[in-house]
Amino acid sequence: MTGSPRTSPVWHPFCQHKLEPVFKQIVGTEGAHLIDEDGRSVLDAISSWWVITHGHRHPVIMAAIRLALERFDQIIFAEYTHEPAEELARGLIRLAPSGLAHVFYSDSGSTAVEVAIKMALGFFHNRRALRSRVVVMEHGYHGDTIGTMSAGERGVFNAAYTPLLFDVDTIPFPAPDREQQTLDALERFCRGGNVAALLIEPLVLGAGGMKMYSPRLLTEFRRITERYGTLMIADEVMTGWGRTGTLLACAQSGITPDILCLSKGITGGALPLAATLCTAEIFDAHLSEDRSRTFFHSSSYTANPIACAAALANLEVWREEPVEERIQAIAGMHHDRLARFRSDRRFVNVRQQGTIAALDLAVETTGYLSEVGPLLRTFFRQRDVLIRPLGNVIYLMPPYCVTVGDLDRAYGAIEEAAGFIEKAAR
Ligand SMILES: *Cc1c(COP(=O)(O)O)cnc(C)c1O
């Protein structure tokens, strides 16, 4: 960490520049590692904010991008179509739970969710049904646009913008002792009759603190929404592409949502792209000779062909390589290594879902602004491990090429960090 004056004009995301050290430059990436300007190899234990799935610069994906560059740049998608987008749409529908029939492209997780909300509202609007409420889960996160912030947990992140955020109905997080309460709350809202959609992160609430709930509940959510004709939007922007142990988290509950949001790992993390999948029923509700029923949404880079080619290569990696085995191996390693933390009083809520392992440091102040957050980040940085705790929540979400040695180093650093925090507190 240097104390040199800040001269860069760049404004970084989620960054308090007054407190942040001058940023190190990354000069290259390789597998599970980032190489910094000093030539140090940093273990990317959080997949560069959850996007990198197979590892950095996977050769199959890189080759597909190079090849696509020979033929394409951006093409206006409201006028034309192209093979990468067509083939990818068919590929996504094949992988998704059966019942999803259409694919709408955009370019980030936030836009995938915005599109989903607009699809749900448009569905009821076009059917002249008065439904416009959105039900969300406590601690949820769906992005940083005004719409997705409205659907997410309110707090310090969006306090300044609350005057612009729309109202939603919130069901409690289904902690093990309150599962029924959550189901009852959902049923109560849905019964009210004006709920257009339940918007939910399946199995793991990521940015809200890696909070996990059982697949059985997701099945129950589906049952309740179906009963009341409420649409279910599964935000699998983070949970998708193997993170929870299966390609999609929804698969563990055997459910088909009405709308499915994908991004982050859709290109293996190589390029920005998002897809919002929906049922034929939702598409058909927008199908009309009446132009006012059109789905009015687009972004300039919709279905960027290079990004679509990267995503197609990602599908090929899933088809051709033992990705599931790698995921199971990581899940097994987490399971073994987490065992010792369960009996360590300095940690609580030791938990895991597939390739995601999380545990909370037992400290007085919790939450994102918890004092320990920045201390921990500095500590991990010094050990060349990229771990970004969410307050006192420490988690690992490695790319699938991570080795036993890498993970042992990460867990070693976590154990050491607990000792470091203990000392700092004295
Ligand atoms: C990251 C994330 C988003 C937002 O994705 P961006 O690409 O950052 O806009 C939305 N939903 C969930 C569940 C996420 O984890």
Q: Binning pLDDT at 50, 70 and 90, where does residue 213 land?
A: very high
pLDDT beyond 60 at 83: yes
What's the 153 CA to ligand 1 centre distance in angstroms? Answer: 13
The pLDDT, as a whole number, for residue 426 is 72
Q: Binning pLDDT at 50, 70 and 90, where does residue 423 land?
A: confident
Q: Please indicate whether residue 199, judged by its CB atom, sits closer than 6 Å to ligand 1.
A: no
Q: Report the half-sphere exposure of 426 (CA within 13 A, side-chain side).
A: 6
Beta strands in 195-346 (DSSP E): 195-200, 204-205, 211-212, 231-235, 259-262, 274-279
Q: Please indicate whether residue 305, judged by its CB atom, sits closer than 6 Å to ligand 1.
A: no
The pLDDT, as a whole number, for residue 366 is 67
Query: CB count, 10 Å around CB of 1?
Result: 10
Beta strands in 117-176 (DSSP E): 133-137, 169-171
CA-nearest of 399, 416, 409 to 54 is: 399
Q: Which residue puts its alpha carbon closest to atom 15 of ligand 1?
A: 238
pTM: 0.97
CA-nearest of 358, 338, 336, 337 to 349 is: 358
What's the 394 CA to ligand 1 centre distance in angstroms? Answer: 19
Question: Of all atoms in ligand 1, which is nearest to the CA of residue 274?
Answer: 7
Domains in the chain, please, with CATH?
26-54+322-425 (3.90.1150.10), 61-320 (3.40.640.10)
What digits encode the pLDDT tens for the residues 266-294?
999 999 999 999 999 999 999 999 999 99
The pLDDT, as a whole number, for residue 309 is 98
Q: What percent of the chain has a predicted confidence (pLDDT) above 70?
A: 98
CB contact set of 26 (below 8 Å; sequence gap of 6+): 34, 35, 36, 37, 42
What digits encode the pLDDT tens for the residues 228-279?
999 999 999 999 999 999 999 999 999 999 999 999 999 999 999 999 999 9
Q: Please indicate whether residue 326, judged by its CB atom, sits closer than 6 Å to ligand 1.
A: no
Beta strands in 354-415 (DSSP E): 356-361, 385-386, 393-396
Q: Tell me the two tokens of residue 162.
A: 């609350």
Q: Please indicate whether residue 141, judged by its CB atom, sits closer than 6 Å to ligand 1.
A: yes
pLDDT beyond 80 at 386: yes
The pLDDT, as a whole number, for residue 165 is 98
- Mutation pick for ligand 1 pocket among 237, 244, 273, 388 (CB with most ligand atoms within 8 Å): 237
What's the 340 CA to ligand 1 centre distance in angstroms? Answer: 32
The kind and range of the H/E element at 26 are: strand 26-30
Question: Of all atoms in ligand 1, which is nearest to the CA of residue 111?
Answer: 9
What's the 238 CA to ligand 1 centre distance in angstroms? Answer: 6
